[in-house]
Amino acid sequence: MTASDIIYIASTVAITQALCDIVANRYVYSSESYKYTLSALERARTKRDKVLSSTPSTPPPNTSKKTADKNAKKITRAKDDYNEAASNVAKKHFLPKIWSSLVFLILMRVLSLEYKGKVVALLPFQPWGVLQRITKRGLKMADPAFVIHESMGFDHRVEVPSQACGFMFIYILSTMSVKFIVNKALGTFPPSGAEKGFMTMMDDPRGQKLLQNLGVDTDELNEFRKNL
């Protein structure tokens, strides 16, 4: 196992994620625009909760139809305002995620070219079929016994070729562990109500209208999501 390569890949992933988080915090999450969307969400949340607590969802038997319709519209309006405010916050988080994904896609491409055909690690087990496609990606296994980084002075021969591990598997493990830890420490996460990301935007009345224009039955879709 070439520890220096593994450390290099993991540290590169960590530094890249840290830079993405720092840039996002500086130019997005510290901006007045973002702070305004957060305050708008809190106001909409307070208004919605106040309306729901003061307006019964099931009107009393003696309530007139006009009053019941008025209360129903009031509740719907409060919920729509809240969903729209939550969607605006989710959009602020969506763009940095897109840019971060693009940066890591480029990083993966660069590192895969750098480690093309190189064995980065020797696994202590023989991976099963589907996993082996990932661990051996980028390796040329024509010779059943070959040298790990012969040009770097290693002379350990691989007796079982399936245990050889290329760059991609180490990169995936790094993004699932190191990247996650760095993002957890430095990243800014959406508040309650906007944490569902794309689905939060689809709960927005504008998102619902877009789905309807695309021929999607939003009532059936929302019912399906509730049952998940």
Read off the pLDDT of residues 131-173 as tens digits, 9 standing for 90 and up: 888 888 877 655 444 444 443 444 445 556 677 888 888 999 9
The stretch 110-129 carries a mean pLDDT of 83
Per residue in 177-186, pLDDT tens?
Answer: 999 999 999 9
pLDDT interval class at 115 (50, 70, 90): confident
Q: Which CA distances in Å does 127 have to 77, 96, 132, 133?
A: 55, 35, 5, 9
Mean pLDDT of the chain: 81
Tell me the mean pLDDT in the region 69-90.
87
Residues contacting residue 176 through CB under 8 Å, at least 6 positions apart = none
